[in-house]
């Protein structure tokens, strides 16, 4: 039996001209074990790769590794996939997306229409979707809250129409 398992993923670059830098966004994880590895840590590629090991390093601290989904979370993931087909268009889609992403940490989601001053000086006020997340467990600190908001905002925006401007708020259950 072969002792080495070949990874079924490849990065192919078509005719790069000259010397340059390539930024690759890729992840693999062992759930929560992969969190909080600091930026600057050098990576060790497998011996079979054609990369210079001295040029591989993390540019940001790792985060986002979650535990494997439990039965209820699997149902939420399945429900989101069946109902929305990967698109977020309605308030129900937004709530399902948040439940899929945050799992048991999320108790409930409230979506409201709102307005804010546009970052573009000539636009004035713009419509927003305010996503209020009510969590059952307090996060470790403001940096973890910001990371969660930014990550969720990016993923929500990627599968929503360009006209959806999200504002995400985190609240905690008082009970």
Three-state SS letters, 96-138: HHHHHHHHHHEEEEEEEEEEEECCCCCCCEEEEEEEEEEECCC
The DSSP letter of residue 47 is T
CATH class of 71-172: alpha beta
The reported pLDDT for the residue numbered 105 is 87
Termini Cα distance of the chain? 56
The reported pLDDT for the residue numbered 100 is 84
The DSSP letter of residue 6 is P
How far apart CA 21 and CA 24 sit, in angstroms, is 10
pTM over 0.85: no
Tokens of 104: 């048991």
- Residuewise pLDDT in 10s, the chain (175 residues): 445 454 455 566 665 666 666 666 665 656 666 677 777 777 777 666 666 667 777 777 776 666 666 777 777 777 777 776 778 888 988 998 898 888 888 899 999 999 999 988 898 999 999 999 999 888 888 888 898 899 999 999 988 988 899 999 999 987 5
The closest of 130, 125, 134 to 170, measured between CA atoms, is 134
The reported pLDDT for the residue numbered 40 is 77
H or E, element range at 170: strand 166-172
Domain boundaries, the chain: 1-67, 71-172
The reported pLDDT for the residue numbered 2 is 45
């Amino acid at each position: 039996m072969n002792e080495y398992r070949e990874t079924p993923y490849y990065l192919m670059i078509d005719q790069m001209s000259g010397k340059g830098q390539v930024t690759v966004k890729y992840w693999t994880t062992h759930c929560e074990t992969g969190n909080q590895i600091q930026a600057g840590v050098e990576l060790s590629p497998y011996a079979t790769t054609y990369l210079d090991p001295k040029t591989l390093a993390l540019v940001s601290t790792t985060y986002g590794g979650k535990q494997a989904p439990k039965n209820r979370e699997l149902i939420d993931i399945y429900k989101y996939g069946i109902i929305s087909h990967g698109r977020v268009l309605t308030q129900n889609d937004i709530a399902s997306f948040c439940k899929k992403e945050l799992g048991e940490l999320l108790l409930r989601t409230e979506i409201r229409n709102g307005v804010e001053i546009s970052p573009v000086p000539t636009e004035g006020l713009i419509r927003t979707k305010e996503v209020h997340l009510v969590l059952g467990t307090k996060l470790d600190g403001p940096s973890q809250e910001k990371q969660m908001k930014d990550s969720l905002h990016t993923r929500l925006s990627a599968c929503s129409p360009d006209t959806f401007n999200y504002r995400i708020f985190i609240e905690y259950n008082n009970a």
